[in-house]
Amino acid sequence: MSVPRRRILPLVLAHAAAAGALNLSSCDNSAATSAPTRSEEVFPDARAQTVSMVRRGDAVRGEALYVAKCDACHSVNQNRIGPKHRGVFGRRVGGVDDYEYSAALTNVDLIWNEETLDEWLRGPTKMFPGTRMGFAVSDDQERADMIAYLQSLSE
């Protein structure tokens, strides 16, 4: 069965833009503001699709990634080298009472949510220099999937 081209192209454009292979902005700002590009005329929501597609996480895939990448130090229900993760969404950074955090994470006035977890997983030592967690997740989709899984543990 053939899929109509008009359905495939917005997805291709969105994925290309998300991967950095397509620049949806023009180098010449006057041209970008005066006339829409052909893709914007035909697919006006391509830019919005790009943003939402990259950020949408898959909790099932996130669980597998969590087991593969986080399970050596973390557990859902008990503290290990790192603190337990059940209920992390909406919890204050350094907020597990029975876990001894590094000095970098004590007295931090920040709540874990999609944005803060994304920044944390992207580079924990950049976010809080001196933290004991040195593991980072560079892949945007993997982070989104892991965050979706962590969010499911807090519902």
Tell me the CA distances in angstroms from 44 to 66, 110, 147, one per residue in order. 36, 37, 29
Domain with CATH 1.10.760.10 in the chain: 59-152
- In 3D space, the residue among 62, 50, 53 whose CA is nearest the CA of residue 143 turns out to be 62
Per-residue pLDDT tens for 30-53?
A: 333 444 444 444 444 444 443 444
pLDDT of residue 8: 42
Q: Answer yes or no: are the C-beta atoms of 83 and 99 closer than 8 Å.
A: yes
Predicted TM-score (pTM) of this structure: 0.65
In the three-class reduction of DSSP (H, G, I as helix; E, B as strand; rest coil), residue 92 is classed as strand
The residue length of the chain stands at: 155
Read off the tokens for 59: 């909790």
- In 3D space, the residue among 58, 36, 57 whose CA is nearest the CA of residue 47 turns out to be 36
As assigned by CATH, the class of the 59-152 domain is: mainly alpha
Q: Answer yes or no: are the C-beta atoms of 103 and 94 closer than 8 Å.
A: no
Mean pLDDT of the chain: 77
SS (H, E, C) 134-145: CCCCCCHHHHHH
Q: Which residues of the chain have pLDDT under 50?
A: 1-54
pLDDT of residue 50: 39
pLDDT of residue 47: 42
